[in-house]
Amino acid sequence: MAAGLSDAAIAGIHAAAERQIGDERIPGLVALAARGDDVHVEALGRLSVGGRPVARDSLFRIASTTKPVAAVATLALVEEGLIALDEPVDRLLPELAHRRVLARMDGPLDDTVAAERAITVRDLLTFTFGFGMVLEMFTASEPWPVAVASEELHLATLGPPAPDVQPDPDTWIAGLGSLPLLCQPGERWLYNTGASVLGVLLARAAGEPLADVFETRIFAVLGMRDTSFWTRDTDRLATAYRPSPDGLVVVDEPNGSWSRPPRFADAASGLVSTVDDLLAFARMLLAGGAAVLSADHVRAMTSDQLTAAQKAAGGLGPEFFKGRSWGFCQAVTDSGAFGWDGGLGTSWLVDPAADLVVIVLTQRQFESSSLPRVHREIQAAAYG
């Protein structure tokens, strides 16, 4: 086991966190670094501008940091024999059978060709099933027809989390099934939607709501008492903000979208959590999946699952796959570290070689697909 956190690392984490706290920058944050049994936590600032202080057990919307949880739940159901990695999804998701594919991603919805093969569970885990976010979608001079149609169907899968917008799972998957794919299954990596589809698949495979799948297979086993798709304990939940030229703008209040059960429990972006719950999740993976998954499935989840051709399109930007690739619902780096970030302000990094976990929870929305400065500086300090 690696030695504990150094005094220099602890001081560096505090300094990196403290210099970013402020009403116009980040109102509050919780940062955790753990090496072996040594855990250091910083809880600084406030849950909202002028609000109550942040505490170690404060709740944050973890957005896309939900995705690795979805991967673990999927592999747990594989181990139960309820689904198989390489089976077509048609048995449980007939709405996605016999797909049509856009002749051009930005083209009209009726200009399509037949899908060359069925979508598999593995395609969903690796985000290669043919639908999702792509950089060109956001830089185009005119909205793509498929993006407009997705918005009209209230899928909320080509943008930030929106639990108040999405319909129930059956309506959601029917809406997605009414749209063509952007590319052929297995052709390229497209962000986000694969995890949302997994949520519907898992609930149908288990015969119970997705929240129960997560609770029985992961949260109850690991003691993750504060992780859920909503919370009654809104006094502990941070206000969500997005930056603007005029300062921070409120995106969601504590008594807002995450204060009640959603119609659609989104496995791509729906959870709230705490640093200690996310540490428990990380330690399970560091321990080879103890009590939740087999070591073989942990290795698969935390290793590169993409081909060179699938990465060639560039992900969410030309540098997206520089030094890293994609495992199951999360990034994996060339050094062997893995994890994923949440666009509402969170990051979750696990490095087996260093026996290191770094978690940063804030309530400031990301401004691009790049990790914000405070997260990068806290991670760098933790390594020190």
How many other CB atoms sit within 10 Å of the CB of residue 319? 12
pLDDT surpasses 50 at 224: yes
Which is nearest to 115 in space by CA: 42, 187, 43? 187
The confidence score (pLDDT) of residue 204 equals 98
Region 160-189: what's the mean pLDDT?
97
pLDDT surpasses 60 at 1: no
Region 34-48: what's the mean pLDDT?
97
Specify whether the CB–CB gap between 132 and 193 falls below 8 A: yes
pLDDT surpasses 80 at 3: no
Cα 120 to the chain's mean position, in Å?
20
List beta partners, residue 356.
35, 351
Q: 107 is written with which tokens? A: 């083209």
Q: 22 is written with which tokens? A: 């402020």
Strand runs (DSSP E) across 205-279, as ranges?
A: 240-244, 247-252, 272-273
pTM: 0.97
Q: What value, to the nearest 5°, has the Cα angle with vertex 367 and ends 366 and 373? A: 70
Q: CA-CA distances (angstroms) from residue 43 to 30, 156, 316, 342, 356?
A: 4, 32, 31, 19, 19
Angle between helices 67-79 and 193-206 (to 10 degrees): 40
Q: Beta strand 356-362 with 28-35: parallel, antiparallel or unpaired?
A: antiparallel
Taking CB atoms within 8 Å and a gap of at least 24, the contacts of 350-353 are 350/282, 350/285, 350/286, 350/302, 352/286, 352/302
- Domains in the chain, ordered, with CATH? 7-71+208-383 (3.40.710.10), 84-206 (1.20.58)
List beta partners, residue 248.
243
Specify whether the CB–CB gap between 26 and 248 falls below 8 A: no
Q: Beta strand 112-114 with 100-102: parallel, antiparallel or unpaired?
A: antiparallel
How many other CB atoms sit within 10 Å of the CB of residue 247? 11
Per residue in 325-364, pLDDT (tens digit) is 999 999 999 999 999 999 999 999 999 999 999 999 999 9
Percent of the chain residues topping a pLDDT of 70: 99
